[in-house]
Structure 1
Amino acid sequence: MRTRLAIKLHSLFERHFPERRVFLKSDNDTRFIRLSSETQVVAVAGVALFVGWTAVATAILLMDSIGSGNFREQAKRDQATYQERLNIMSAERDVRAQEALAAQDRFNAALEQISAMQSELLASENRRRELETGIEVIQTTLRATMKQREEARTELVKLEQEAGEGDMYMAAVANPKQMNFMTEALSRTAEERDQIAANAKDALEQRDDLELEIRLMQERSDEIFRQLEEAMVISVEPLDKMFRQAGMPTDRIIEEVRRGYSGMGGPLTPISFSTRGEELTPDEIRANTLLQQMDQLNLYRIAAEKAPFASPVNSVVRFTSGYGTRRDPKTGGRRMHNGADFAGAHGTDIFATADGVVTHAGWQSGFGRLVKIKHAFGIETLYAHNTKIRVKVGQRVSRGDHIADMGSTGRSTGTHLHYEVRVNGKPVNPMTYIKAARNVF
């Protein structure tokens, strides 16, 4: 069977590829190379395979080149779109920063107005007490005057009853001096009665004027209270909203600040205008409520200074990477990014975002030149890839202090700041704090 198949294949090859001989002639000799049908088939198959492989490889290279060109064009378009979005976000951030500055100015103006209103309220209360005292004195004087007038009237009636007209005439004829004395006494009594009546009328008019002034002062006091209450609501609500948006429990934060600052005076002392143990008036209750709200506002402001509610850079920068899983710029793989990256000019000033103590100021693998600051409430901030560090370990810093210069040290592809916020050692999104404070600071 194999012999017949071989014979048939050989016949087929001979029909299409007959045996050929290639003669090689030299000066002295002539030689030839015999090319059998099988050899020719193998050669043709090899050439065809080579040509086919060359065509396929060329097609693959062309397709890859075309695809790479399209990918680069798409990457350029994506980069342009991303740059445009960054510019829009930068413009929006600048607008928000201006609004924050304007809000801070309004907040400071409201505090000044609150202080002035509080002083005016206390002065009005003192004036009210003085007027009430004056009214009591006038009423006492009026009652005494009225009593004297009634006594004079009673004495006059008594004199008229004791001496009739005829008896008085006889007495006057008999004793002119006694008559003159009686006449003068009656005249003085009438004058005193008229003077007492005039004094009583003046006292009543003065009392009416004082009561009107007291009502006006009470209305003014109510207006001051209303403005103060509105100012407290406007001032406290944004701070409370800022802490809640950042995920910070306000009750625990306020209590912690209160305990930490109790040695410096603690909360404001409630107002009490009575020294006789009487119950507080509605105005006194409102005043005490305002003082408690002012104390809460002060505690909020202290807590806000201790939490990182600020941006670490004030210059023009690009937000190049946010918190979360991203494509690693070095390896290209998917990795977790625990902070936010801000790209800017080399040497851009970097500022502390809250009050705290520097716990690290030096080189750390991957982060390059790194600054760590420990804040209140278990919060820690990290500022990495700096070119220069301007603080040292153990140094106390305040919000806005210049702590480092932007660079590209450590594992970095270019000049930028890597900014992290950690709560109890766990990284959180730093933009949560920055965005929460946009409408406050």
Structure 2
Amino acid sequence: MRSRLGIKIDHLLERTFPERRLFLRSDSDTRFIRLRPSTQLLAFSGATVVVAWAIIASAILLMDSIGSGNFREQAKRDQQTYLNRLNALSEERDLRTEEALAAQERFNAALRQVSVMQEQLLESETRRRELETGIEVIQATLRKTMQEREIARDEAVELQAALEDGGTALPSAGGAGDGTMDLLADALAATAAERDKVVADAQDALLRADEMRSEIRLLEEKNDRIFRQLEEAMTISVKPLDKMFSQAGLNTDSLLKTVRRGYSGQGGPMAPLSFSTRGETPSEHTLRANRLLDQMDRLNVYRIAAQKAPFALPLKSPFRYTSGFGPRWGRMHSGTDFAAPHGTPIYATADGVVTHAGWSSGYGKLVKIQHEFGIETRYAHNSKLIVKVGQRVSRGQQISAMGNTGRSTGTHLHYEVRVGGRAVNPMIYIKAANNVF
């Protein structure tokens, strides 16, 4: 027996969906289909679900289309922003390059000025020594002149006494007294003239000695100014290089010894610089000049070392960093990646010798360059190689072109720096040189 609830539901359904019959007529027969309220409800519910699904699907597609348009617009805006940023970085890099060239010109001009000042300093030192020697000679002559003056004065006194004694005895001696008196008078006059000449020479010597002392004092002041200018120039030039090599993790003392050993031959750039002291105790000026020349020698060694260590960038065209040094996806990424268009020129970052130029597994087309101080650089995924094994290259010389060979997901350069066979972060060297080159 049906429950009252079921009967009420049936009445509601019959009111909303009254029972219907569909007649299906053919040529030979007529049939009908009875549509109960429950069947109509089921059909209506199915149709409603289908329509709702169609509406929701259409809305989703419409929203996706709108969202895709927004994403495309956003992607275009991001791309334009990236291009603007890339152009700004390119302009900034060009500006830094111009500043580096200007700094190099200033550095070369400073070296030329240092050379001129060095020559002036040597000339001033030589002139000072000559003046000191001249003063010593004048002083010796003056002492000798004073002694001769005293001797002449004593002789004059003796002659005066003899003349006075002779004057009392000459009248009794007749005519012979007049000859003796004339002889003594002449000797006395000659002695007086010689004495006056000695006194005049001594006064001239004293005046000349005072002039020489004034000249030496002016020369010393000039030398002090030259020394200060040179010391300031050396401080400005050497300290940034000290900092650059230290930040790159290189031992400066060991580096200087290595470079000096490489240029120990005669006539090389590392010829010793010093003043000759002629066996005497070195003066303060000499010690100061030698300290300055040591700094100049250190600067020259740094200049040579900077060419042999990878402080330059491997690219001169606009680029973007795509991956840095360190762990990546569970593996160690032993270099830095630079992305740029296919075929972009790649340049050696320091002087060295090519030890590998060919295919190397995941590196693709690879170039290896061995530098001084146990440093090696690697340039991977190239599209074309320009150098050969055994070839000596200079910093800034093109060695290859950017590509997508080996285990690579896109056109880029994989750049490595290895010290003693161990990979180090290339950005250490690149950032260390930012304030120098």
- Say whether the fold is shared (TM-score over 0.5): yes
**RMSD between aligned alpha carbons?**
3.3
Conservation of the 8 A alpha-carbon contact between 2:259 and 2:305? no
Matched, 1:39 2:39: yes
Shift of 1:408: 4.2
| Secondary structure, counterpart of 1:321 in structure 2 | strand
**Unaligned runs of at least 5 residues, structure 2:** 265-269
Shift of 1:98: 0.9
Shift of 1:290: 1.0
The farther-off stretch of 217-226 and 352-361 is 352-361
CA–CA distance in 2 between the matches of 1:95 and 1:406? 24
Match of 1:275 in 2: 279
Give the direction of change, closer, same or farther, for the CA distance of 1:7–1:305 in structure 2 (3 Å limit).
Answer: same
Deviation readout 1:163-219 (Å, 9 max, x if unpaired): 423335656832444333223222221221122122212222221222222112111
| Secondary structure, counterpart of 1:178 in structure 2 | helix
- Give 1:321's aligned amino acid: T
**Unaligned runs of at least 5 residues, structure 1:** none
CA–CA distance in 2 between the matches of 1:166 and 1:61? 154
Deviation readout 1:205-255 (Å, 9 max, x if unpaired): 2212222221121112111111110110111122123334xx3346x1332
Q: How many residues align?
A: 429
CA–CA distance in 2 between the matches of 1:200 and 1:254? 58
- Give 1:419's aligned amino acid: Y
Q: Quote the sequence identity (%).
A: 57
- Give 1:383's aligned amino acid: Y
CA–CA distance in 2 between the matches of 1:149 and 1:172? 36
- What does 1:2-17 align with in structure 2 at a 5 Å threshold? 13-17=13-17
| Secondary structure, counterpart of 1:227 in structure 2 | helix
- Give 1:87's aligned amino acid: N
2:425 to 420, 424, 428: 428
Match of 2:81 in 1: 81
Match of 2:181 in 1: 179
| Secondary structure, counterpart of 2:159 in structure 1 | helix
CA–CA distance in 1 between the matches of 2:126 and 2:349? 45
The farther-off stretch of 1-10 and 410-419 is 1-10
Conservation of the 8 A alpha-carbon contact between 1:254 and 1:300? no
| Secondary structure, counterpart of 2:45 in structure 1 | helix
| Secondary structure, counterpart of 1:261 in structure 2 | helix
2:196 to 189, 194, 197: 194
CA–CA distance in 2 between the matches of 1:313 and 1:131? 59
Conservation of the 8 A alpha-carbon contact between 2:365 and 2:381? yes
The farther-off stretch of 116-125 and 223-232 is 116-125
Deviation readout 1:324-357 (Å, 9 max, x if unpaired): 69999xxxx999794142424x544321111233
The farther-off stretch of 207-216 and 380-389 is 380-389
Match of 1:289 in 2: 291
Deviation readout 1:269-295 (Å, 9 max, x if unpaired): 55451404x3x3211221121122123
Matched, 1:92 2:76: no
- What does 1:83-232 align with in structure 2 at a 5 Å threshold? 83-164=83-164, 165-168=167-170, 173-232=175-234
CA–CA distance in 2 between the matches of 1:243 and 1:176? 97
- Give 1:258's aligned amino acid: K
Shift of 1:421: 3.8
- Give 1:319's aligned amino acid: R
2:396 to 390, 397, 400: 400
Shift of 1:28: 2.5
Match of 2:245 in 1: 243
The farther-off stretch of 420-429 and 383-392 is 420-429
- Give 1:81's aligned amino acid: T
CA–CA distance in 2 between the matches of 1:117 and 1:389? 47
Match of 2:316 in 1: 314
- Give 1:139's aligned amino acid: Q
The farther-off stretch of 99-108 and 42-51 is 42-51
- Give 2:336's aligned amino acid: G
Matched, 1:437 2:436: no
Match of 1:254 in 2: 253
Match of 2:352 in 1: 356
- Give 2:338's aligned amino acid: D
CA–CA distance in 1 between the matches of 2:386 and 2:78? 38
Match of 2:267 in 1: none
The farther-off stretch of 109-118 and 378-387 is 378-387
